[in-house]
């Protein structure tokens, strides 16, 4: 679902806007200078109610497994939001980006394991020590069944 756009302004900086039922915001992207290959490509910044820029997310550069097309992927998050907003941005022919949201898919889980089987208690009975009387006393029929 397309929820916004990102354009390059006259100064060469990327800025954009997005709108959902609960979130409407304008933002700027600041390139991250890092040698770490796991670092994001951009930080997502917006102005707070006092007018100062605050970071509300980040975007990483990704490539499609199927087509090899490069796109940006990340999320917007803030303590005032009930949950993070996952977004992707796909470059258009004119150099702008379409900002897209999609509901994260639940991971497939393996079938639950069956409950453990209770081991046969007879396998764990210990022989009666020598000289110890059987609790069944002189009843031979019960003594034969006794496993103590």
Residue boundaries of the structural domains of the chain: 2-100
- The dihedral built from the CA positions of residue 19, 20, 22 and 28, taken in this order, carries a sign that is negative
Task: Kindly report, residue by residue over 63-107, the tens digit of the pLDDT.
Answer: 999 999 999 999 999 998 889 999 999 999 999 999 999 877 777
Task: Kindly report, residue by residue over 26-60, the tens digit of the pLDDT.
Answer: 999 999 999 999 999 999 999 999 999 999 999 99
d(CA 54, CA 103): 25
Q: Which residues pair with 10 in a beta bridge?
A: none
Is residue 30 within 8 A of residue 43, CB to CB? The reply is yes
pLDDT band with cut points at 50, 70 and 90 for residue 10: confident
What pLDDT sits at residue 147?
55
Q: Taking Cα atoms as reference points, which of 12, 26, 16, 37 lies closest to residue 98?
A: 16
Spatial CB neighbours of 39, under 8 Å, sequence gap ≥ 6 = 32
- Average pLDDT for the chain: 84
């Amino acid at each position: 679902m397309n929820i916004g756009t990102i354009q390059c302004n006259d100064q060469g900086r990327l800025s954009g806007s997005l709108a959902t039922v609960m979130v409407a915001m304008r933002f700027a992207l600041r390139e991250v200078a890092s040698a770490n290959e796991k670092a994001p490509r951009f930080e997502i910044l917006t102005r707070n109610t006092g007018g100062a820029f605050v970071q509300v997310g980040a975007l990483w550069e990704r490539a499609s497994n199927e087509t090899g097309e490069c796109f940006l992927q990340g999320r917007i998050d803030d303590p005032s939001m009930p949950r993070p907003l996952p977004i992707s941005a796909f470059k258009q022919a004119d150099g702008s980006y379409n900002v897209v949201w999609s509901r994260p898919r639940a991971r497939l889980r393996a079938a639950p394991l069956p409950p453990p089987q209770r081991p046969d208690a007879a396998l764990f009975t210990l022989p009666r020590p020598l000289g110890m009387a059987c609790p069944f006393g002189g009843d031979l029929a019960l003594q034969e069944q006794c496993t103590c």
